[in-house]
Every structure is written in structure tokens, then in C-alpha cells.
């Protein structure tokens, strides 16, 4: 009877964990930064040029202290981050892989960006970020846990 109960309990744990569709990014905060130019600076996270800080939240939401709240989708090695303001939209497609650096979770390249603005006379919150994004320039998602 005890073996049967233990088997059912173990089976239940596997079923529940298999149905859990949790996102590995939820609860994590990263400093998204370009790699330094000099080879000797590659192992120093302080030498990386920060683009933005991203905090990944439940419900496929992402937030940045400067750019506000947006959304994201993670599909295998593609991470799409979207910011939408009343006047402008920015979508960034990162191709991500695991990083080999101790201080970084992922390395990435920007594959595509799409920036649009509906009224050029309005304030532009996302344009500076859109102009900073370089396709095919190596990026690290540096761990920034509080």
C-alpha cells in the first residue's frame, strides 16, 4: 500500500510539473549590454556598454526603468521585446543562446528592429533606444538580481 501511495504521489508531481508552463525569464532582471571592444575587458561586466535594464514579469510583461512597461515572447532561441507608447512602437528581436560568462545568463544578437511613430511632432520616448540598437553586434544579458 505504501509503495502504491508513493507511486501515485510521484506520478502526481511529474504530471503537475509537466503541466507547469512557467517561463524561465519570469522574476529575472538583466542589464542588456554590448560587449566591450578590447579583448582584455571581456571578463569585466563593468566594461560592457549598457543599452537598457529589463525585468521580466508574470503574464509575458517586461519593464524597463527608462522605457516603461512592454511585453515579450520567448520561443526557443528568439526573444521578442515590444514597447508601445501612445505615439510610438518598438519591437526588438533578439536571437539568444546561453552565455559562457559567469556574470551573464545569455548572449544575443539583435536580428530585427521595428520602430514606428505616428506623429513626429509628439515626444519620442523610444526613438533614442531604437537608434542605439545595432544589428549583429554581440550583446550580453548580464545578471542583475536585487
pLDDT tier at 86, thresholds 50, 70, 90: confident
- Give 43-81 pLDDT, tens digit per residue: 999 999 999 999 999 999 999 999 999 999 999 999 999
Domains, the chain, ordered by start: 23-143 (2.40.128)
Mean pLDDT (the chain) is 86
Find, among 54, 89, 88, 50, the residue nearest to 74 by Cα: 54
Enter the pTM of the model: 0.80
Amino acid at each position: 500500500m505504501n509503495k502504491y501511495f508513493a507511486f501515485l504521489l510521484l506520478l502526481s508531481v511529474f504530471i503537475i510539473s509537466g503541466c507547469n508552463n512557467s517561463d524561465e525569464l519570469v522574476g529575472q532582471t538583466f542589464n542588456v549590454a554590448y560587449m566591450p571592444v578590447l579583448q582584455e575587458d571581456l571578463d569585466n561586466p563593468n566594461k560592457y556598454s549598457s543599452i537598457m535594464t529589463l525585468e521580466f514579469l508574470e503574464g509575458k510583461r517586461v519593464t524597463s526603468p527608462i522605457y516603461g512597461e512592454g511585453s515579450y515572447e520567448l520561443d526557443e532561441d528568439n526573444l521578442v521585446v515590444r514597447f508601445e507608447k501612445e505615439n510610438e512602437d518598438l519591437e526588438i528581436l533578439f536571437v539568444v543562446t546561453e552565455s559562457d560568462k559567469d556574470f551573464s545568463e545569455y548572449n544575443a544578437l539583435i536580428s530585427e528592429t521595428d520602430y514606428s511613430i505616428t506623429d513626429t511632432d509628439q515626444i519620442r520616448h523610444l526613438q533614442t533606444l531604437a537608434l542605439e540598437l545595432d544589428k549583429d553586434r554581440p550583446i550580453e544579458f548580464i545578471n542583475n538580481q536585487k
